[in-house]
Structures are given as structure tokens and as C-alpha cells.
């Protein structure tokens, strides 16, 4: 009896895996409530005046002006249209071997490009965009401002999703 149940369980499991692997879901819309993967910049409209992300250097590589996004440029959804993919594997790879991906390392891959000193060049009371807070001239680090990643990091993630390195099936 136990052998029969084990056989049925194996057949059922394998048939479900084949079915799941061959069907590609069709999505009609993406609903995302805003984060660093898909930040639309609406917080600049809704937030009080003087919010740090509405000032340079935010947006310096995206239309060369601040867009209200918590990034120096485009984010993952700008590089793709739809995604169901692994976001954390590339990040852990960036942190483990940053130079393999072409990132500049200033002591640690966690050090922010734009900051005002403090551990990892991050200080929550002196954030990127405020007076006295400097951005690096070439944002080729993993971390942009201590919270979000750089455009370079988001671009590598999006390319990995498109070519199948971090997405199955490729997007």
C-alpha cells in the first residue's frame, strides 16, 4: 500500500511540474504601490515641499533632472514591461562579487554613492539631495543613497530578467 501511495505521489508531483513549466501565464496589468523597483515619483507631488528626492542629484541620469524617484535614474520597471523574476539573487551576487559585475567598491559594496559620511556613507539626517551631501561623479557603485540601488544595478537586474539569468522563462 505504501509503495502505491509513493508512486501516485511521485506521478502527481511530476505531472504538475510539467504542466506548470509549459504554461505561461498571461498578465493583463501590474498593480504596484510603489517601491524602489517601480518608483514612479508620485511622492514628489504628494509629499511636503523640501523633500530631498525632488532635488539634484536625484534623477541625474534620467532626463538630467529630479523626477521625484528615490534613485539616480531609471528603475527596474523602466527596463522591462512585466516581470515575475528573482530580484534577490542578483543583489546577493553584487554584494558578494561586485567587481565581477563592474561595480566600483569603496571599502564595501554597501557604501552609498551619494551620502554625507557615517557608516556606509549613509546618514539619515543628511540625505542625498540636501545641502552638503555629495554624489559621486560616476555612480558605478551598487548602492545609490543607502536605501536604493543605482541605475547600473537596476539595469543589470532587468537584463538578467530579460535574458533568463534571473527569470524563468525569460521576459
Judge whether residue 59 has pLDDT over 60.
Answer: yes
Answer whether 0.75 is exceeded by the pTM: no
Residues paired with residue 149 on neighbouring β-strands, in sequence order: 143
pLDDT digits (tens, 9 = 90+) for 11-50: 455 444 444 445 566 666 666 665 666 666 666 666 666 6
Q: Are 128 and 144 in contact (CB under 8 A)?
A: yes
The residue ranges of every structural domain in the chain are 75-163
pLDDT digits (tens, 9 = 90+) for 70-123: 777 777 767 665 556 788 899 999 999 999 999 988 788 889 999 988 889 998
Amino acid at each position: 500500500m505504501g509503495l502505491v501511495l509513493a508512486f501516485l505521489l511521485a506521478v502527481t508531483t511530476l505531472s504538475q511540474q510539467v504542466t506548470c513549466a509549459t504554461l505561461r501565464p498571461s498578465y493583463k496589468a501590474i498593480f504596484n504601490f510603489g517601491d524602489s523597483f517601480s518608483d514612479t515619483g508620485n511622492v514628489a507631488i504628494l509629499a511636503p515641499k523640501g523633500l530631498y528626492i525632488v532635488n539634484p542629484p536625484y534623477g541625474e541620469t534620467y532626463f538630467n533632472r529630479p523626477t521625484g524617484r528615490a534613485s539616480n535614474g531609471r528603475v527596474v520597471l523602466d527596463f522591462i514591461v512585466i516581470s515575475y523574476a528573482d530580484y534577490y539573487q542578483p543583489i546577493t551576487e553584487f554584494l558578494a562579487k561586485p567587481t565581477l559585475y563592474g561595480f566600483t567598491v569603496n571599502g564595501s559594496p554597501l557604501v552609498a554613492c551619494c551620502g554625507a559620511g557615517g557608516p556606509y556613507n549613509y546618514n539619515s539626517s543628511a540625505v542625498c539631495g540636501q545641502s552638503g551631501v555629495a554624489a559621486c561623479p560616476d555612480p558605478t557603485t551598487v548602492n545609490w543613497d543607502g536605501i536604493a540601488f543605482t541605475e547600473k544595478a537596476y539595469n543589470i537586474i532587468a537584463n538578467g530578467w530579460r535574458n533568463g539569468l534571473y527569470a524563468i522563462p525569460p521576459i
